[in-house]
Amino acid sequence: MPTILVVDDDQHIRKLIHLYLSESQFDVLEAENGAEALQLLEKKQIDLAIIDVMMPELDGITLTKEVREFYQIPILLVTAKGESQDKVIGFQAGTDDYLVKPFDPIELVLRVKALLKRYNLLREQHNRIGRTEIDLDRLIVTNGEETVELKRKECELLFELSHNPGRIFTRAQLVEKIWGFDYEGDERTVDVHIKRLREKLSSFSDINITTVRGLGYRLEDIEQNES
């Protein structure tokens, strides 16, 4: 059962988040400030941190930077500020997602689940399709004879498709999985990245990303189709 750390100086907010996360079968730890949160991170196995921005002693942005430097866990920033500049600062500090108060607790739980799913995928650094290996750690694709370097989002996109060969992903699903809830661009970025992947991997016979008209994309399972 994943353990979620809730960091907020407002006791009522902490209890509300604790209640909804517990009902969704999460273990929850609470901290009322950033300094206390760092102590818990040193002692406990934390799978995700929900951090309020405005806190005494150690604010949420500074805490996010500290967590990102020493721990590979997803971070969800929660704040009363809704200005776009505040979001930019939060993402530059290293947060994975951003939620503005007042928020729907059910939406918060959904975002927590989505972040955990993304990180569980990213922790698996290698996947193989036929003879071709996708290495998310080094951002390369290799078949033993040829190696191609990819950009981070290209590799994450290919990695996601490769875990479910034959499954159709809509553009909206891929945007949410790879770029996150708060991505402000449009779905055409998926088309651009797919085009680049096809160009870079044109010589890899095991990699075949097809377009499903009106729906999205899928990675064909070549071996299964040939059997």
Question: Who wins on pLDDT, 85 or 216?
Answer: 216
176 and 90, same domain (yes or no): no
114 and 170, same domain (yes or no): no
**Residue 6 pLDDT exceeds 50:** yes
pLDDT at position 35: 92
Domain closes at, from 122, 140, 163: 122
What does the mean pLDDT of the chain come to?
A: 88
61-70: pLDDT as tens digits: 999 999 998 8
pLDDT at position 222: 62
pLDDT at position 101: 87
- Angle 157-87-160 from CA coordinates, rounded to 5°: 10
CATH of the domain at 186: 1.10.10.10
117 and 152, same domain (yes or no): no
Least-confidence region, from 108-122, 125-139, 203-217: 108-122
CB 154 within 8 A of CB 193: yes
List all residues 6 or more positions away from 70 whose beta carbon is below 8 Å from its beta carbon.
41
116 and 167, same domain (yes or no): no
75 phi and psi, to 5 degrees?
-130, 135
CB 20 within 8 A of CB 73: no
Domain closes at, from 94, 122, 150: 122
Containing domain of residue 201, as a range? 126-226
Q: How many CB atoms lie within 10 A of CB 1?
A: 7
64 and 134, same domain (yes or no): no
Domain closes at, from 59, 91, 122: 122
For the chain, how many structural domains are there in total? 2
* DSSP letter for each residue of 184-205: -S-THHHHHHHHHHHHHTTT-T
Residue 51 identity: I
Q: How confident is the model at residue 227 (pLDDT cuts 50, 70, 90)?
A: very low
pLDDT at position 84: 64
164 and 114, same domain (yes or no): no
List all residues 6 or more positions away from 165 whose beta carbon is below 8 Å from its beta carbon.
129, 218, 219, 220, 221, 224
